[in-house]
Amino acid sequence: MKYISSTQNQSVKNIVALQSKAKARKESNCFTVEGLRELQLALTAGYEATHIYWCSEILDDAAFKNYLDKFNLKSEIVSVSLEVYRKMVMRDSTEGVLGLLKQKNNRIEDWQPKNKHPFVLVLESIEKPGNLGAILRTADASGVDAVIISDPHTDIYNPNLIRSSVGGFFSVLTFVCENKKASAILKGFKINTYAASLQKSIKHTDADFTKATALVMGSEAKGLSPFWLKESTAIKIPMLGHVDSLNVSVATAVLAYEVVRQRKS
């Protein structure tokens, strides 16, 4: 087993770049996952780990072997010193394991809904990785069939996004594409689109979400573009206080669970 003790090792520098730079992730078509639970979720979801970096000063040999025995891996296992591990990770509480994984890059053209009334989230130009991650967590919890990130402003393999999704990143089918392609796919499957907007909108509980439904959410700063407002029925969550809007991840959760409520009633 290879052992790395120097923080100047090229592999260490590559991991640091992947953690912090979208360009490095795009060029290598790889990304990082920290921690036993998140790495297990990724491997279970079919992601391929090319390397697994392990710090025995945090996770002992027996525990690490028992962990690896759960999977039929072809990954290269690399042992690293505590100093190197701390250099590579973004969090100290990641249990001594970091995985280098290949990206999947799902094609929306290949998507086939698994039921007659799919539930889809469309997220247009969401900027903050933490918000995207929180929405993916909600998508998993509310049974969303697919998430479409349209005209993206954030790299979906950003480690902050993955961490804040608490596993939702790996369990929810996610696509990235342009607005026009997303709209064409939804129309092709006769999925009704509902745009979250305060303008000329109906109350969200008055919309019919029992049929094939896509909820379209806009960016934190600008909301939805005119493209989606023209393509969709506008819906709003009543605001009873002095503020005029909710955080996009909170608003998505409110709307998603209205879909769940209607379909369970």
Give the model confidence (pLDDT) of 209-237 as tens digits.
999 999 999 998 889 999 999 999 999 99
**For residue 91, what pLDDT is reported?**
84
Q: How would you list the strands of the sheet with 2-4, edge to edge?
A: 2-4, 76-80, 49-54, 97-102, 30-34
| Both structure tokens of 180 | 């026009």
CA–CA distance, 77 with 89 (Å, rounded to integer):
16
Whether 28 has a pLDDT exceeding 80, the answer reads yes
Whether 119 has a pLDDT exceeding 90, the answer reads yes
pLDDT band of 141, cuts 50, 70, 90:
very high
**For residue 93, what pLDDT is reported?**
79
pTM > 0.75? yes
Q: For a pLDDT cut of 70, what percent of the chain falls above it?
A: 100
Q: Helix (H) and strand (E) counts for the chain?
A: 11, 12
Whether 137 has a pLDDT exceeding 80, the answer reads yes
Question: Are the C-beta atoms of 101 and 48 separated by less than 8 Å?
Answer: yes
**For residue 151, what pLDDT is reported?**
94
Give the model confidence (pLDDT) of 83-103 as tens digits.
999 999 998 778 999 999 999
CATH 3.30.1330.30 region(s) of the chain? 2-102
CATH 3.40.1280.10 region(s) of the chain? 108-264
Tell whether domain 108-264 is in CATH 3.40.630.10: no
The class of domain 2-102 in CATH terms is alpha beta
CA–CA distance, 12 with 164 (Å, rounded to integer):
24
